[in-house]
Structure 1
Amino acid sequence: MFDEMTGDGGVRPPYHDIAAWLEAMGPEAMELKRLEAETLFRRIGITFAVYGEGGDPERLIPFDLIPRVFSAEEWRTLSRGITQRARALNAFLWDVYHRGEILKAGVIPADLIYRNAAFLPEMMGVDPPGRIYSHIVGIDIVRTGPHEFLVLEDNCRTPSGVSYVLENREIMMRMFPDLFAGGRVLPVDGYPDMLRATLEEVAPPACKGDPTCVVLTPGPLNSAYYEHSFLADQMGVELVEARDLFVDEGKVWMKTTQGPSRVDVIYRRIDDDFIDPLVFRPESVLGVAGLMNAYRSGGVTIVSAPGAGVADDKAVYCYVPDMIRFYLGEKAILKNVPTWKCSEPEDCAYVLAHLDEVVVKEVHGSGGYGMLIGPKSTAAERDVFARKIREAPGVFIAQPTLDLSTVPSLSPLGPSPRHVDFRPFALVGKDIRLTPGGLTRVALREGSLVVNSSQGGGVKDTWVLTE
């Protein structure tokens, strides 16, 4: 198991300042600071909701004080790989909603796309500005060694978590200003400006003057509502719900006290099915009637585009290295985790015979749900999954149980290694922009590999160092 602070022995160079800081602080002072951070999170209201649970669904996101650190060289490799992947995924989306060349070439099975629940026939032939379908791409990355970074999955629809990136840094700088005094940690606070610039760059060609952008939220009961309101506030744009918008003559308008105001770009944080009740779910009260017609006619830009989710399906994920070769003529800088597709009989037979060794995931699952972690499962749990896989093999993939890297995290026994993953955010407009850092999620339970906040995980500040 690779520990990112100690490596194979001794403290690795990126962590020298952190090691000295931990020694100087001592466990008692760190515990007091942990309680102070919790108070700050509570005062600010940095929460998330867990659906399906009784009582108050709002929880404080667990925050671990010990940062995760990347050297400048490590970040160069990561940023090149993330940028490459974001380009290929957008090229793929434009292709499958137009000529489907990658399908005709037999690189990806056509049925995997056209029969995919996330594929929207309504998007066929639609040309978003700049041919960009996924404007905010969140790439989930794990580390297994000093130079081994693997992509666990892609998030092309509405990846969440960037508000924690910004708030984690704000709280660390407020509590430990001396750690940042030397200027070695690259800032992350430029993200809202970069996001707004990206939104403005993809405004419809007919837009004249400065584009009006809004964040469309399902409302306060959504699990990521804090982030929706936070980003709208940081960008200086309106946070709206469906009742605040209407469509007239192929354009989208926002109700204001001064009368209707034209909207050019909608950063939507609602799922495809709820966007427009005239096209998708007729019972939806979260979407805007007529929005899809306005979008298809070029009256408004939706960020990210409806139908972008077909690129982050876990079965389609297996083919992203092939997309990179097909569209870019390059070899993938960041490799995929080896994956068995249960839709293929040989792979399915292997998975069923090794359920106690592999991690099984639903291709449309998220948030740590719909998973079986074989080595930590019971015989009864494996029997349930075996039945599910036999009944609908195409619904599942499987991956080896990875030896994820660890980062020191606070525990009752002091700093202890805990498994982490990483979600950087690529903003795709006229250029691809990356904030130096991202969301590090940590499995706070000893030995756990599940980092999702809904499953007991927490978050850390992520540092990228200068040269």
Structure 2
Amino acid sequence: MASKREHDSYRDGYDEAWSAPQVPRPGYGDVLRALSRFERHSLRARIRLRLARGGVTFGTGADAMPFVVDPVPRVITADEWSKLGPGLEQRVAALEAFVQDVYESRRIVEAGVIPARAIDTAEGFEPELCGRLPEGVPAIGVAGLDVVRDREGRFLVLEDNLRTPSGFAYAAAARGALDLEPLPESDRRPFGEEAFAALGEALRQATPRGADPASAAVLTDGPQSSAYY
């Protein structure tokens, strides 16, 4: 169970697992009971060692840092997801419309919402794509939205990641490290096959009409990317 010191360290933030000492939030009771059989420091150490042996780091070379995985999962209840899910879909739809507009008609510039220089000097802007987005193909194949909670527990999007799906590999590595622990079978959920199947479908949808879907590929920044794994 959580100690008083651990609770005190989160007084200025939001403790997602505990509403008060010894009082788990909705959805966390079963999870915490399942994990109570483990000594948490040893559990974290084993997971950290597996990830290190697998070469899972954030950054590469001299800048490489350990990829830290918390064995306590982040629980989002069905009621929370019924609101969060549609909100994320709406956000990605708005981002898709923005990207399409940036590389095509630039109505957002014409309307005076964003100056052209803000787009043209953006680090991720690819001028060669202007006027060349395939018709009927989503510009955003994979969106990674960093969701956090404020101190009141409200969901906020900290950052929108639209360029490379780096989170897929990290999530698969984290699940692989956790799957070696003797957690109850009922607590396990499939991840790898479903996630990579979804990525494959996104690639197929991004294939221009008439092209061979087998020719689709994911382009990354390579080893210099901080999320290269």
TM-score, normalised relative to structure 2: 0.78
Pair 1:42–1:120, CA change in 2 (3 A): closer
Q: Is the 8 A contact 2:14 2:152 kept in 1?
A: yes
Q: Is the 8 A contact 1:15 1:69 kept in 2?
A: yes
Quote the sequence identity (%). 35
**Correspondence 1:20 to 2:28:** no
**Correspondence 1:213 to 2:226:** no
1: CA distance, partners of 2:104 / 2:217: 28
Pair 1:96–1:81, CA change in 2 (3 A): same
- Could you tell me which of 57, 62, 66 is aligned with 1:60? 66
| Partner SS, residue 208 of structure 2 | coil
**Correspondence 1:72 to 2:85:** no
CA displacement at 1:6 relative to structure 2: 1.4
Larger of the two Rg values belongs to structure:
1
Deviations 1:265-296 (A, max 9, x none): xxxxxxxxxxxxxxxxxxxxxxxxxxxxxxxx
Q: Is the 8 A contact 1:136 1:159 kept in 2?
A: yes
1:105 corresponding residue in structure 2: 111
2: CA distance, partners of 1:32 / 1:144: 30
CA displacement at 1:74 relative to structure 2: 1.7
2: CA distance, partners of 1:108 / 1:218: 27
2: CA distance, partners of 1:220 / 1:127: 27
Q: Is the 8 A contact 1:50 1:58 kept in 2?
A: yes
- Could you tell me which of 191, 197, 202 is aligned with 1:193? 197
2:17 corresponding residue in structure 1: 5
- Could you tell me which of 120, 131, 136 is aligned with 1:130? 136
CA displacement at 1:152 relative to structure 2: 1.7
2:50 corresponding residue in structure 1: 40
| Partner SS, residue 28 of structure 2 | helix
Pair 1:224–1:212, CA change in 2 (3 A): same
Structure with the larger helix share:
2
Q: Is the 8 A contact 2:58 2:227 kept in 1?
A: yes
| Partner SS, residue 139 of structure 1 | strand
CA displacement at 1:217 relative to structure 2: 5.1
1: CA distance, partners of 2:79 / 2:50: 33
Q: Is the 8 A contact 2:108 2:114 kept in 1?
A: yes
RMSD, aligned CA: 2.8
Pair 1:147–1:217, CA change in 2 (3 A): closer
Q: Is the 8 A contact 1:48 1:224 kept in 2?
A: yes
CA displacement at 1:18 relative to structure 2: 2.8
Q: Is the 8 A contact 1:49 1:222 kept in 2?
A: yes
2: CA distance, partners of 1:96 / 1:220: 28
5+ long unaligned stretches in structure 1: 227-467
Pair 1:145–1:103, CA change in 2 (3 A): same
- Could you tell me which of 207, 220, 227 is aligned with 1:203? 207
Pair 1:73–1:187, CA change in 2 (3 A): farther
Pair 1:220–1:17, CA change in 2 (3 A): same
**Aligned partner of 2:141: which letter?**
H
Q: Is the 8 A contact 2:137 2:206 kept in 1?
A: no
2: CA distance, partners of 1:213 / 1:97: 21
Pair 1:84–1:110, CA change in 2 (3 A): same
2: CA distance, partners of 1:17 / 1:206: 50
1: CA distance, partners of 2:122 / 2:223: 30
Deviations 1:154-182 (A, max 9, x none): 1221252321212212222220331xx22
Equivalences, count: 215
| Partner SS, residue 108 of structure 1 | coil
2: CA distance, partners of 1:223 / 1:112: 24
1:93 corresponding residue in structure 2: 99
- Could you tell me which of 59, 67, 81 is aligned with 1:49? 59
Pair 1:224–1:100, CA change in 2 (3 A): closer
1:249 corresponding residue in structure 2: none
| Partner SS, residue 94 of structure 1 | helix
CA displacement at 1:83 relative to structure 2: 1.2
**Aligned partner of 2:162: which letter?**
C
5+ long unaligned stretches in structure 2: 1-12
| Partner SS, residue 71 of structure 2 | strand
| Partner SS, residue 182 of structure 1 | helix
**Aligned partner of 1:17: which letter?**
D
Deviations 1:327-350 (A, max 9, x none): xxxxxxxxxxxxxxxxxxxxxxxx
| Partner SS, residue 13 of structure 1 | coil
Structure with the larger strand share:
1
| Partner SS, residue 67 of structure 1 | coil
